[in-house]
Amino acid sequence: MTQPALQTTLGATIFASTCAACHDQGAPMMRIGGRPSLALSRAATADDPRNAINMVLHGIPQEGSAATPYMPSFGAVLDDAQVAQVLDYMRVQIAHRPAWPNLQDAVTAVRKEAVTAQAPLKAQEQEPPQTQPEASPKSHSKSQPKTKPAPQAQPAAQPMQPAAQPSPQAQPQVQGKEAHQP
């Protein structure tokens, strides 16, 4: 089997297992939310594959009712070669367009761009918020910056139960039907 034929076969297999339930001709999902055939999709027919790559890697989030378009992301389950294979199959066999050149390299680049774009967001989530000292414009004395005091633990309303089996003398009082009688 030649390399392009093998790529088409692998792409067809991936399409059948991950995409066909929603995108194959006659699939029940084609009638929900006005999904067009992939042959008519701008992502499949565009000269640049980036939109199609992003859709496969990141999906389309569902907004509003269940009838709105939704597509799960496959970036965590398909590697770059598999994404390229399924997109090549979709482009050539379904949209009847010429294959995108260097598609696997484009998938790798788009995936890397997404990781790079998310890195600052993840760093912000991990850093604790910094408090700013309150400055008094007329005061020149050396004072400590004012910050919110740490919350202090409040005494428990009921005694805490130990993790181990409690002794019969130390069983907490429980009201209601759930009360356990020793």
**Residue 158 belongs to a domain:** no
Three-state secondary-structure class, residue 141: coil
**Residue 115 belongs to a domain:** yes
Cβ-count burial 117-148 (b if 16+ within 10 Å, e if not): eeeeeeeeeeeeeeeeeeeeeeeeeeeeeeee
Round to whole Å and give the CA distance between 88 and 103: 8
pLDDT, residue 7, reads 66
Give every residue of the chain whose pLDDT is below 50, as ranges. Answer: 139, 141, 154-182
DSSP-derived secondary structure for 30-74: GGSTTPPPGGG-HHHHSSSTHHHHHHHHH-B---SSTTS--B---
The domain containing residue 89 runs over which residues? 3-126
Q: Please name the residues in contact with 71: beta carbons below 8 A apart, sequence gap of 6 or more.
A: 22, 55, 59, 60
**Residue 149 belongs to a domain:** no
From 150, 170, 169, select the one nearest 160 (Cα to Cα).
170
For the chain, the domain total comes to: 1
**Residue 175 belongs to a domain:** no
Task: Give the bridge partners for 60, in sequence order.
Answer: 71
Round to whole Å and give the CA distance between 90 and 158: 63
**Residue 165 belongs to a domain:** no
pLDDT, residue 179, reads 45
CATH of the domain at 22: 1.10.760.10
**Residue 21 belongs to a domain:** yes
**Residue 61 belongs to a domain:** yes
* Main-chain dihedrals φ then ψ at residue 88, nearest 5 degrees: -65, -45
pLDDT, residue 162, reads 45
Q: Is residue 60 within 8 Å of residue 43, measured between CB atoms?
A: no
**Residue 100 belongs to a domain:** yes
Round to whole Å and give the CA distance between 149 and 147: 6
